[in-house]
Copies of this chain bind each other. A is one copy, B any other.
Amino acid sequence: MAKRSALQRGVGVALWRQIADGIRQGIATGLADETGRLPPEAELAQRFGVNRHTIRAAISALAHEGVLRSQQGRGTFVRRQKRLVYPIGERTRFSAGLSDQAHETRSEMLSSSIETAADPIAFALGLEPGDRTIRIETLGNADGVPVSRSTSWFSEARFPGIADVYSRVGSMTEALEACGVTDYRRASTGVEARHADESDTQELQLAPGAIVIVTRAMNSDLSGVPIQYSVTRFPADRVELVIRGDGATFEGPQLGS
């Protein structure tokens, strides 16, 4: 077993939170045994070099977050084990990529509105500043757990009723089909990562200090005309992106975790 990375004091991040992140990370790399049971608090305390109270604070945070569950006398157990793999490629779609990894995947529309296109979005969609766009907010679930939170823009002139259709069918692919787009492609995807802000922690049910992966995506129709610009936030501890993989993913080593 590799030596656990050293904790740092006095850097503005409490030890219990660093440990919570360490445990969360460790779960993916064999910290818990095959039954999902974590080592006892005393052992974790020794391994991390802290007091048992500090371990308990970390576990308490993860339990509150739904990652762990403790039982007096029995131990502490992992609730969810694996990360979802979200494939990104020319034919990226929400449900198609996840349906084989979870029992139930659902994309739900939260709200929609009409906006005057500001500069960057107008440029991305090939509109004039001042043209009207439809903005749609969606939440992606896998087995009841939020795994993505998207904001999408469409040209209102081209897709006037897309919000209504989408709210009924719950699938972007089907909604676009109903608007005359038989097929579309992912033209480009930007990827960033940052700390979750307040809206992330609420909408994705995250712990404060959690990490979100942010993608900015352009979808175009087959003739290359942009049809959709969207910004999506993924919880970094529940989702992993895979680019141009055929769905298979190697379980490579983590390196420094």
Interface of A toward B, CB cutoff 8 Å: 5-6, 8, 11-14, 16-18, 20-21, 25, 57, 61, 83, 85, 88, 90, 118, 120-121, 123-124, 151, 186-195, 197-200, 207-209, 211-214, 216, 218, 229, 231, 233, 236-237, 240-246, 248-257
Contacts and interface: CB of A to CB of B under 8 A. Distances in A.
A191 B191 contact: yes
Nearest to A13: B209
Contacts of A207: 11
B17 A90 contact: no
15 contacts: A8-B198, A8-B208, A12-B14, A21-B194, A120-B250, A124-B250, A124-B252, A188-B243, A189-B244, A189-B245, A192-B236, A192-B241, A194-B211, A214-B255, A233-B255
Given A229-B252, A250-B216, A241 B12 contact: no
B151 A208 contact: no
A120 B216 CA distance: 31
Contacts of A251: 120
Contacts of A198: 5-6, 8, 256
A135 to B, nearest CB: 11
A137 to B, nearest CB: 10
Nearest to A119: B251
B245 A190 contact: yes
Nearest to A199: B256
Given A20-B12, A252-B231, A253-B121, A213 B195 contact: no
A88 B244 CA distance: 10
A42 B8 CA distance: 30
A244 B249 CA distance: 19
Contacts of A118: 253
Contacts of A188: 242-246, 248-249
Contacts of A191: 191, 213, 240-243
Contacts of A12: 13-14, 16-17, 20, 57, 61, 208-209
Interface centre among A90, A213, A252, A257 (most CB of B within 10 A): A252
B249 A190 contact: yes
B190 A252 contact: yes
Interface centre among A207, A240, A241, A255 (most CB of B within 10 A): A255
